[in-house]
């Protein structure tokens, strides 16, 4: 639980746009103490966690519940959407400052630091995971819906029309359902409140196919 509660605090702090020193001040902590909590080296006592929760606009119980969900996802199982009994693999869940803003190396592979490791059925080839950000991929109907905080595993596989994928363009990186026209790529959200994005095929720098969805909420 230590590493997960620290991960939740760090993630919520960044979602709020707080620097570590700012959250420490709001919660009445010293920054080195908050740093140790976020790194998972110490577990905060209940009064400390209550102050952190209040500063983050949530409750101590909600923080613990979310940490438990992350702990369950990180522990994982050998069962996946494709069947049971599959060999397991350890996939890095990458840290993101905001949205899907991640760094890449010279081979177009994500190079951001990992927040924690997720145990999933083995994926052939290179794979990584990200948290879902925002509600653009939430759907009120249909079998697919991705809530903020859910974890998506991506693999370096061809993205076919209708697949869910992480797409890197000149404008940035986004998670959408992907469709291909003759000259353009359509990046479709599931939430009707958001507009579909169209980019030229030559402006799509890279893409990764979604191979697993870890739901953290019922």
CA distance 103 to 113: 9
Q: What is the pTM of this model?
A: 0.70
Give the C-alpha distances (Å, rounded to integers) separating 148 from 68, 139, 152, 175, 215: 16, 12, 11, 12, 10
| Residue 33 CA, distance from chain mean position | 25
Q: In 10 A of CB 41, how many CB atoms?
A: 11
Q: Is 164 in contact with 184 (CB distance < 8 Å)?
A: no
Mean pLDDT score of the chain, rounded to an integer? 85
- Choose the most confident range, by mean pLDDT, from 74-83, 85-94, 148-157: 148-157
Give the model's confidence band at 2: pLDDT under 50 very low, under 70 low, under 90 confident, else very high. Answer: very low
Q: Dump pLDDT digits (tens) for 122-173.
A: 788 889 999 899 899 999 887 899 998 888 999 999 999 999 999 999 888 9
Q: What is the mean pLDDT of residues 171-194?
A: 94
**Domains of the chain, each with CATH number or no CATH:** 2-75 (1.10.260.40), 88-214 (2.10.109.10)
**Window from 37-46, 80-89, 189-198 with minimum mean pLDDT:** 80-89
pLDDT of residue 86: 52
Q: Nearest Cα to 207, choosing from 165, 175, 174? A: 165
Q: In 10 A of CB 152, how many CB atoms?
A: 23
């Amino acid at each position: 639980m230590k590493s997960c509660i620290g991960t939740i605090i760090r993630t919520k702090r960044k979602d709020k746009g707080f620097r570590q020193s700012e959250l420490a001040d709001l919660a009445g902590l010293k920054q080195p103490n908050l740093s140790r909590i976020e790194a998972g080296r110490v577990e905060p006592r209940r009064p400390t966690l209550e102050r952190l929760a209040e500063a983050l606009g949530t409750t101590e119980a909600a923080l613990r519940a979310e940490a438990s969900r992350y702990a369950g996802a990180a522990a994982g199982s050998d069962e996946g959407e494709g069947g049971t009994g599959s060999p397991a693999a350890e996939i890095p869940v990458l840290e993101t400052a905001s949205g899907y803003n991640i760094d890449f190396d010279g081979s177009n592979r994500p190079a951001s630091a990992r927040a924690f490791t997720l145990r999933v059925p083995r994926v052939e080839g290179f794979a990584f995971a990200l948290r879902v950000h925002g509600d653009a991929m939430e759907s009120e109907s249909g079998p697919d819906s991705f809530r903020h905080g859910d974890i998506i595993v991506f693999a370096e596989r061809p993205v076919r029309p209708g697949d869910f994928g992480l797409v890197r363009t000149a404008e940035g990186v986004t998670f959408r359902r992907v469709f291909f026209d003759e000259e353009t790529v359509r990046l479709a959200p599931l939430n009707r409140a958001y507009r579909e994005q169209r980019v030229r095929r030559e402006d799509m720098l890279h893409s990764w196919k979604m191979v697993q969805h870890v739901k953290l909420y019922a």
